[in-house]
Amino acid sequence: MKVKHSFLVFAAAFLMVMPAFAKTGVVYQRQDSLRIVSLLQQAKAMKKKPANWMMWFGKQFVGIPYVGGTLDRTQEELLVVNTRELDCTTYVEIVTALTMCAKHQETSFAAFCNHLKHVRYIGGEVAYVKRQHYFTLWVDDNVKEGIVKDIQNNPPFTEVQTINVNWMSTHPSSYKMLLAHPQWKSGIRALEQSINGKRYRYIPKGEIRNNQLFRNTIKDGDILLMITRKKGLDTTHIGIASWHKDGLHLLNASSIHKKVIDEPMTLYTYMQKHPSQIGIRACRVL
């Protein structure tokens, strides 16, 4: 009996960690779907709803390990739901999809996956060359889909970034999927060309302030883009705006801290430590 019991425990644990490949092309583990549904059920059951769903859901993942490349572990492009390992982009995407579910009072894993498809891919089409690899593209498509609003108020968005990206098409060896499927490089180049030359307002990092103008313009839960001067790229990091008494902070999946964290230092201080970052853009989930 003891042997049988041990086997059942082992089998149950194995089922919890083995990947599930649904007929719909979704890759996840059982604990991922359980976590998503549990969070959505908690959200729906709340009598007093939080002021901002992005903040509420975002804080539910604090402490989750930072791990990059989780979308590129399959041979072909599939919708990946991994709540156990997050990078800055997958973190924001998951929190955005959860927020959309909460606003529609949806609690099913299927509803979450449907929202995530549209958040992550152009037109919700799951394909590597439709994934929004550059966050400028991510914002553009999510604006078109009615998921987010691009914030461009002047002031404080006083400077203009002209997009000129080519990092992926000129560094294909850095991307597992492009190495395995070199024929996709032309599709990636087309994505880059679709945003090149576009201009967007941003706040220079030296002008980030803790004043009424900034608090009225950037709200808790807004998605913040750290834009860069690095050749071939548009952004180097993203996160969620989190106001503290001492100013604006970043709730993010941090490669520095190796986990999801509400960054202890202000965003102004954080950005001074990153010379290649020149300022921030912002968008808001509708």
pLDDT digits (tens, 9 = 90+) for 158-191: 999 999 999 999 999 999 999 999 999 999 999 9
What integer is the mean pLDDT of 89-111? 98
**Residue recorded with tokens 């180097």:** 236
Band of pLDDT at residue 6, cut at 50, 70 and 90:
very low
User: What is the DSSP pairing of strand 235-244 with strand 148-151?
Assistant: unpaired
Between residues 20 and 6, the one the model is more confident about: 20
**Contact in structure between 284 and 86 (CB atoms under 8 Å):** no
What integer is the mean pLDDT of 85-108? 98
Q: Say what the pLDDT of residue 18 is.
A: 46
**Numbered ranges of CATH 1.10.3670.10 in the chain:** 26-145
Strand blocks (E) in 219-270: 223-228, 235-244, 247-254, 259-262
What integer is the mean pLDDT of 240-262? 98
Instruction: Tell me what percent of the residues of the chain surpass a pLDDT of 90.
Output: 91
CA distances from 286 to 54, 80, 236 (A): 11, 24, 24
Architecture of domain 148-285: Roll (2.30)
Q: Please determine, for residue 75, whether its predicted confidence score (pLDDT) is greater than 80.
A: yes
Q: Say what the pLDDT of residue 117 is.
A: 98
**Numbered ranges of CATH 2.30.260.10 in the chain:** 148-285
- Measured at the CA of 85, the angle between CA 192 and CA 21, to 5 degrees, comes to 80
Largest CA distance in the chain: 72
Q: Please determine, for residue 11, whether its predicted confidence score (pLDDT) is greater than 80.
A: no
Instruction: Tell me what percent of the residues of the chain surpass a pLDDT of 70.
Output: 92
What integer is the mean pLDDT of 72-77? 94
What integer is the mean pLDDT of 49-53? 96
Q: Say what the pLDDT of residue 19 is.
A: 55
Homologous superfamily (CATH) of 26-145 is Putative xylanase like domain (1.10.3670.10)
Q: Say what the pLDDT of residue 213 is.
A: 97
pLDDT digits (tens, 9 = 90+) for 183-225: 999 999 999 999 999 999 999 999 999 999 999 999 999 999 9
The region of weakest confidence among 7-21, 47-61, 67-81, 193-207 is 7-21
What integer is the mean pLDDT of 19-41? 86
Q: Say what the pLDDT of residue 88 is.
A: 98
Q: Please determine, for residue 155, whether its predicted confidence score (pLDDT) is greater than 80.
A: yes
Between residues 193 and 10, the one the model is more confident about: 193
Q: Say what the pLDDT of residue 259 is.
A: 98
Band of pLDDT at residue 23, cut at 50, 70 and 90:
very low
- Cis (ω within 30 of 0) for the bond into 155? yes
Residue 280: alpha-carbon gap to chain centroid:
16
Between residues 19 and 125, the one the model is more confident about: 125
